[in-house]
Structure 1
């Protein structure tokens, strides 16, 4: 069982539960940073991999 986070109310000397609306907000299906990372990262990684392979092949043969 997960309990809501609590803070101590010093005036009344009792713990008051913080509402969890902010933490429970549904995340978006994707954020733009993730999309940018995928669009830039995937071709970059494949390009570097192909360049490395051709470089190794040139060294071997």
Structure 2
């Protein structure tokens, strides 16, 4: 399976914050693009931190059946 998103420990390592609100604040200050999921946690694509320009499309967010 191809990894698309950072996991929670990687987001913690990147931001230095454990609380989701603080992680969101840190990501905004760093200028790293992210999404907020239904539970309020930031979701960061791997391409956002690798410096690639292409972001996954909505179709890539869906789990294969």
Do they superpose with TM above 0.5? no
Give the TM interval when normalised to the shorter protein.
under 0.3
The structure whose residues are more often helix, as a share, is 1
Q: Which structure ranks higher in relative contact order (CA pairs < 8 Å, sequence separation ≥ 6)?
A: 2
The structure whose residues are more often strand, as a share, is 1
Larger Rg: 1
After TM superposition, the score normalised by the length of structure 1 is 0.25
